[in-house]
Structure 1
């Protein structure tokens, strides 16, 4: 907004052209991804359209196309966002806590109940949709599980390089950790009476893994 002088000699504010920018680009992108995830869960992959996501966000389709070329690209972003809801990776470079503490953060052991329900809803959607749209299973693996395992292997490699862990094959170790800690977190699991019981189990899994990879 700039100031101009009117015919009376008074200074007034002149509004710029166009609608005011309420959200930052990052905030708008997050809103689009969040609403797209909910649309995919509620309506399925095939029934969800860019128009429906735009309506949920109260923006135009063109605004979405400024960030995402297609529904497939939008779904790719949703999978990537969900991946970080499952594993908090990569980690800050200056993180210096003990490996057990960091692994609890990576696997979001203390995730709040609302976030847990939301991420499990997407997993349930993914499992169901993969039956009807087989190519989605490969897409989710390529954009979700594989990058997560690679990021985790990189973190383990860093711990090995620092002399904190002893692991011969960090890729296999990452796969093992994900099987141990993500297996009990999926939708429909009722193995524990309370969420705290499950957290104790996950911490035991971490301790078990670290006992076998400790530097002696």
Structure 2
């Protein structure tokens, strides 16, 4: 029987679609779920709860790693020590103390200041604000470095923001305020001094209505001295 002389057919491999090099790089490794800024904010909030429970001194970086369910490498990449975490807590809570920046130009000055100082927040928000104030008052007495952070990350930026707002009202002719920095400091001492005293002497104000009445009176007495005659 004669042998076939036909050559066997070659199998042609299907061509694989080309994948851009940058696409390959994008898919390597675990996808990032949140930005460093957001992760740092979440860590600070959980660390804050730990500080409230155990105190600043008794809370360790290991405690924070365990509570946040992160690696030590992640924590130390975002914060080198507990003091930095404390500073991030102050940053996060600055807006709970002063609602600035904001547009309050259509409101009377006393109402604008009431909105800026958030005096009509609900009881839950007020309890959170008071808890932070109580914690800070206790801890800064023992740790001078925390007192410095409280000023540079909390008090100073807040006072500067309020002074800028007062200067704008002065420029619009809505108030008479020769020194906006002094006025901002005096107003913050008036409002937050009252809150701080209350936070040290009692667990909470007698009632939300009483708290609002008192703080509105503080603002009213202040504004009577800066309104144009």
Structure 2 length-normalised TM: 0.76
Identify the match of residue 129 of structure 2 among 105, 116, 119. Answer: 119
Which secondary structure state, in structure 2, belongs to the residue aligned with residue 213 of structure 1?
coil
Cα distance in 1 for partners of 2:130, 2:205 equals 16
Asked if residue 194 in structure 1 is aligned to residue 204 in structure 2, the reply is no
Q: Name the counterpart of 2:47.
A: 36
Structure 2 segments unaligned to the other structure (5+ residues): 1-13, 17-23
* Counterpart-to-counterpart distance in 1, 2:192 and 2:99: 13
- Name the SS for the 2:58 alignment partner: coil
Matched, 1:76 2:87: yes
Map of 1:138 onto structure 2: 148
- 1:173 offset after TM fit, Å? 1.0
Deviations 1:40-93 (A, max 9, x none): 22222222233222221222222233332332222111122223221122x13x
Structure 2 residue aligned with 1:153: 163
Name whichever of 184-193 and 62-71 sits farther off.
184-193
- What is the correspondence of 1:48-67 to structure 2 with a 5 Å cutoff? 48-67=59-78
Of 89, 105, 117, 1:96 maps to 105
Aligned equivalents of 1:185 and 1:84: distance in 2?
Answer: 16
Instruction: Please give the root-mean-square deviation of Cα atoms over the aligned residues, in Å.
Output: 2.6
Structure 1 gap ranges (5+): 1-6
Q: How many Å separate the matches in 1 of 2:175 and 2:119?
A: 21
Residues 170/121 of structure 1: CA separation in 2 closer, same or farther (3 Å cut): same
CA distance in 1, matches of 2:35, 2:122: 26
The runs of at least 4 aligned residues of structure 1 exceeding 4 Å deviation read 189-192
Q: Distance in 2 between matches of 1:167 and 1:80?
A: 28
